[in-house]
Amino acid sequence: LALELKQPMRLRRVFEKIIEHTREADGGLSEGKDRLEASVRGAIEQATSNLDGEGLQSCLSAIREWNSNPKFCHIAQFVFMAL
């Protein structure tokens, strides 16, 4: 819905919740950083797997906006790597 309404802040919050939930489900860093990053990337891939061309373009535009802000650049990189 956040993609359809072109609301990058809400979309970022959705991805932040996905990352937070995946980290909690995976047990934090106890399993190893690489495994955790792979789990987060997999969760983001699953969430974005049904994007059409317009949805992908909206997501990439939001990523560009987040990446220009040091506070949000980490989530931008996670989502970009998953796409």
The per-residue pLDDT for range 19-69, each reduced to its tens digit, is: 888 877 766 555 556 676 778 788 888 878 888 888 888 889 999 999 999
The half-sphere exposure of 68 on its side-chain side, counting CA atoms within 13 A, is: 6
DSSP state of 69: S
Q: What is the pTM of this model?
A: 0.74
CA-based torsion, 2, 15, 49, 59: positive or negative: positive
- Give the sign of the dihedral formed by CA 54, CA 60, CA 64, CA 69: positive
79, 27 contact by CB (below 8 A): no
